[in-house]
Chains A and B, each alone.
Chain A
Amino acid sequence: MRRVTWRNLFAHKLRLLLSAFAIVLGIAFLSGSLVFTDTLGRSFDQLAYGTVTDVTVRPATEAGDAVSMNINRDARSIPAEYVEKVANLPQVKQAQGAISGTGVFVVKKNNRLLGGTGAPTIGLNAGVGEPIPNAAGEQMVNWLKGTEPTKEGEIALDQRSADNAGYAVGETVKLAMPGDPPIVKAKLVGTFEFASGGLAGATLVVFDDKSAQKYFYGGEDVFSTIAVQGRAGVSQEELASAVAKVIPPGTEAVTGEKLGAESKDLFDQLLGFMNTFLLVFAGIALVVGTFLIVNTFSILVAQRSRELALLRALGASRKQVSRSVLTEAFVIGLIGSTLGLALGFGLAMALKAIFSNFGLDLSGTALVFEPRTIAAGYLVGVLVTMVAAWIPARRAARVPPVAAMRDDVAMPESSLRWRLVLAMLLGLVGAAAMAAGLWLDVPKPIIWVGAGIFGVLMAVALGSPVVAIPVLAVFGVIYRALFKAVGQLAAQNARRNPRRTAATASALMIGLALVTTMSILGASINRSIDAGVDREFSADFLVQNATAQPFSPEIATQLAAVNGVEAVAASQFIVLQIDDSDVYASAIEPVEFAKVFKLDFVSGVAPTERRTMAVSESTAEKFDLKVGDVVDLPFVTTTEPTTVTGIFADSQVVGNVVVPMRTVTDAGFQRADTALGVKIAPEAGFKTVQAALENAVADNPTVVVQDKQSFAEAQRAQVNTLLYLIYALLALAIVIAVLGIVNTLALSVIERTREIGLLRAVGLTRPQLRRMVRLESVAIAILGAVLGIGAGLIFGLALQKSFADDGITDLAIPAGSLAIFVLVSAVVGILAAVLPARRAAKLDVLDAIAGE
């Protein structure tokens, strides 16, 4: 029996390869994602643990969330005198005041920002005296060229950033700063690299201590933190407790161990999203691949039914027959997983390259191939293949021995009715899960929705043979009208085994359903943006940058001075916490803001005083707030009881909470604007003012001046970029689906060899034969497209409705795109048919007639 299995495997090398390829792609994506995220993780771990000293003194934090702290920019500092006090402790070998500030940008020679969208740029001070090593006792920085900056007008850059920006030591570097002045020019005196590997694309700008204090703390003799190195034999804990005794209230001494772990947590949180994102696509690839394998094995078993019956007649037990099929699956799974792992490694390299293009440079870290990745690859690959082969294997075992004697064997098939019942059940469960995720208050709604979508997709796939029959009947009519006899033959071939056709189409269906869903969401978001902009863009211009990075408040002052400008409304994007969950908030100057923007207050009024705020309708609903309620808002150092003064209709212009600027500055946030609304005087000319504004910020690439139209375009561009990324990933599912069609067609051609011979004998030319195969392929592809777009329409509609409160207010169905999807599917069908059609046309008429 085993020999029969092996013979089969070798006899069908091509089929084997094709079906293994589905697994190869799925596993490649899975292992590629794992390798890449492991690499990313290690790179950030190196960064997290390689950059902490024995003990760090920092301002104690009230609001616990490190992410929001990062955005909010802590404005507190530690006076310089404490550096001395710490340094004088007997346990301390050395202590240095350290400054790190964000909002700095290196301006490249072409007047564009370096980095920008990707990893952050951090401004540091050089420190006085010997550099302090990290907790592991290693130097954190290797100087490559030149020296440290020692006076104002000098800076140093990390080597990679200097290279990328095109600056050499000795040249003058332009920097955009978050404070005053907004632009600084300084001489590059040195370059360095990070000892613990890469910087993950971050840019480091080093100033001398005095300049750093000037730029980030208005010239006060203060530091952000104090870095402490202990004497030999002093543990981090001992050092921390000693240091804690001499530092001022409101600050804390943290061990390197703890700080490293904190940073690591923060990075993990940021990277977690990317892991999930990539793994979701690996999952999609695997599901689609499973379809392909089920189909391939079903066809192979059907074709070999006589042979299997012969084996049964010769005394093979049912178990032996099904085990033979499963062994084949096991071997295919093993081969597919091996190739998939290899390809996954390549994929991880490609991802690394792609991400370094986006500014996340990982060149300092080698790819990490954990044993877990290999185990997961083999486990998933072999398991998926064997599960996929299980149903065909059982069917193979049911072939009655007497079938060996018959001329044509019909495989025992389970009735379509059962499938339909199962499909309906699954569809209902899926729909219920989706509905629960969308409308009910369940934990982790996104998982409910995802599981629901998966359930409905499986239901559509199960029920697809039933749906396929009428759709293919339509094809019959159209094909016959357009392509006469060849068309009729093609349509009938597609209908011959609706189950097989539908299963093949299902793989494409899944990909297209998701693409359609995304395109409907994308179009709806874009339309909602346009509608929102139309409704709310009451400013004449908006000045901001594409990545919501903060910029110097000086710019607002400069722009207010431009001729023809009536008012400039500055707002700062911050994150606050209500009931421990993050909410996006805008800090505004109430008077100026009201001159430019009009918030639509449902009840109450705009906040003007300290400890007041207004909330959006959806936020009020979510947290059950009404005018007059008092909420405890945690800030950096304190928790402020804050009164709700008004509730406004949800708006794109501001976050969900609006607070007066002074509320946040008083509470220890650093001031930096994220957006400026500009209103021009009635008599001023639009174009003239626009030119003047652009001129005013021409020197500062951190901000751009947008009018209504370009603002909407920029917003849409962001949505579209994300869409294209998702499309690119879903293209993988489409590739697997195409392979599925190729496979089914190739196997069908083999199955119909005699028939093809007959057709050739009675006068079908080779081009006609090729056309016949092509038309069948197109019918399968378009069936998949119709099913997929149908399902996608439902998902898209449901998702838009559920996100209506979150800003996707308007539904848009991109009919043009959907039509293109159908067209692309037809092209996919034509491409998938190339090889099978060629193979069919090559068949020798005589051999074909002779059959087996």
Chain B
Amino acid sequence: MASTVAAHTVDLVKTYGKGDARVSALAGVSVDINAGEFTAIMGPSGSGKSTLMHCMAALDKPDSGQVVIGETDLSTLDDKRLTLMRRTEIGFVFQAFNLVPTLTAEENILLPLSIAGKKPDPAWYATVIEAVGLADRLGHRPNEMSGGQQQRVACARALVSRPAIVFADEPTGNLDSTSGAEVLGFLRRSVDEFNQTVVMVTHDPTAASYTDRVLFLADGVVVDELREPTSESVLAKMSSIQRSIGS
């Protein structure tokens, strides 16, 4: 199962700014994201982890290199096709501001489908709702829900269109530990029970311990990788990376 690749990148390069202010966010990143796995991307600030995720999620364009989601090379797509890609193949959970304030929880969850003019698969929809445990809050607006509930709605939205891959950008960054655990637990279940591929950017070792595999980035390159992580092993690895780039 771990042998199939849901997405991969080849030699991704991305720089910001010019001249002295030039910052190399990605300096040739090649990674494989295995299907049905929960992958974390970690690294110190400025390591390029967010840029990598944005490029993979078709939100940003690399200067050079390839991003392939399933069989599709993103660099060959125009804005319209990229949008369609995001709509059908990719799910998102952001750190904050995940929901449209004028829509109810249910409407937010169904948003990508209704934008595409599609109806949800009722059985799958029921499964997702049941899994996030929000059946009784579907009619509420975002401002009537707690931060954790909002993030769970965002997770449900990311899953409901059965995307090839779900990207989560610091999904627990704004949450207290209990709410964070709920969200991470849900993402874990979606991998275990629905065989969903999930990629999460985080700097929190506890969050990383929920995943199957952790990729460590520093200075725009993948410097290390950890399987079956625990908070302790992640923390240890992080400190060693910190030391090595610090020296």
Contact = CB atoms under 8 A, between A and B. Distances in A.
Nearest to A492: B102
Residue among A485, A493, A496 having the largest count of chain B Cβ atoms under 10 Å: A485
A837 to B, nearest CB: 16
A760 interface: yes
Interface string A316-347: 00000000000000000000000000000000
A510 B186 CA distance: 54
Interface stretch (B86-94, B132-140, B221-229): B86-94
Contact of A761 (B59, B80, B84, B102): B59
A762 to B, nearest CB: 5
B141 to A, nearest CB: 10
B21 interface: no
Contacts of A142: none
B94 A762 contact: no
B115 A485 contact: yes
A128 interface: no
Interface of B: 54, 59-60, 79-80, 83-84, 86-88, 92, 94, 97-103, 107, 111-112, 114-117, 143, 157
A259 B27 CA distance: 94
B114 A762 contact: no
A313 B152 CA distance: 34
A754 B95 CA distance: 12
A486 B143 CA distance: 22
Top 10 closest A-B pairs, CB basis?
A763-B87, A485-B114, A492-B102, A765-B83, A762-B112, A485-B115, A763-B86, A763-B112, A754-B97, A763-B115
Contact of B103 (A492, A761, A765, A845): A492
B67 to A, nearest CB: 15
A242 B102 CA distance: 90
A340 B163 CA distance: 56
B114 A484 contact: yes
A763 B157 CA distance: 12
Contacts of A766: 79-80, 83
Nearest to A410: B143
Nearest to B81: A765
A759 B100 contact: yes
Contacts of A764: 83, 115
Given A489-B100, A849-B94, A763 B88 contact: yes
Contact of A768 (B107, B115, B143): B115
Nearest to A757: B97
B92 A761 contact: yes
Nearest to B110: A485
In this complex, the interface size class of chain A, counting residues with CB under 8 Å from chain B, is: 20 to 34
A315 interface: no
Given A768-B115, A845-B59, A763 B83 contact: yes
A762 B117 contact: no
Contacts of B157: 762
Interface of A: 408, 484-486, 488-489, 492-493, 495-496, 754-755, 758-766, 768, 845-846, 849, 851
A852 to B, nearest CB: 11
Contact of A763 (B79, B84, B97, B103): B84
Contacts of A758: 94, 97-100
A764 B87 CA distance: 7
A765 B94 contact: no
Contact of B59 (A489, A495, A759, A846): A846
B19 to A, nearest CB: 22
Contacts of A496: 101-102
Contacts, number: 69
9 contacts: A485-B117, A488-B103, A489-B103, A493-B102, A495-B102, A762-B111, A763-B88, A846-B59, A849-B97
Contacts of B103: 488-489, 492
B115 A762 contact: yes
Given A486-B115, A846-B54, A762 B102 contact: no
Residue among A484, A486, A759, A765 having the largest count of chain B Cβ atoms under 10 Å: A765
Contact of B117 (A408, A484, A846): A484
B223 to A, nearest CB: 25
Contact of A760 (B60, B83, B99): B83
Contacts of A846: 54, 59-60
A766 to B, nearest CB: 7
Contacts of B79: 766
A118 to B, nearest CB: 58
Given A768-B115, A846-B59, A851 B87 contact: no
A483 B86 CA distance: 21
A758 B87 CA distance: 12
Contacts of B107: 488
Residue among A485, A488, A761, A763 having the largest count of chain B Cβ atoms under 10 Å: A763
Given A488-B103, A755-B101, A758-B97, 11 more contacts: A485-B115, A492-B102, A492-B103, A493-B102, A758-B100, A761-B94, A763-B112, A763-B116, A765-B84, A766-B79, A846-B59
A480 B79 CA distance: 26
Nearest to A841: B79
A492 B101 CA distance: 10
Contacts of B114: 484-485, 488
B54 A762 contact: no
A536 B105 CA distance: 70
Contacts of B97: 754-755, 758, 849, 851
Contacts of A762: 86-87, 92, 111-112, 115, 157
Contacts of B112: 762-763
B143 to A, nearest CB: 8
Contacts of A485: 111, 114-115, 117
Nearest to A845: B59
A492 B143 CA distance: 15
A485 B109 CA distance: 12
Contacts of A760: 83
Nearest to B169: A849
A759 B100 CA distance: 8
B93 to A, nearest CB: 11
Contact of B80 (A408, A495, A755, A765): A765
Nearest to A408: B143
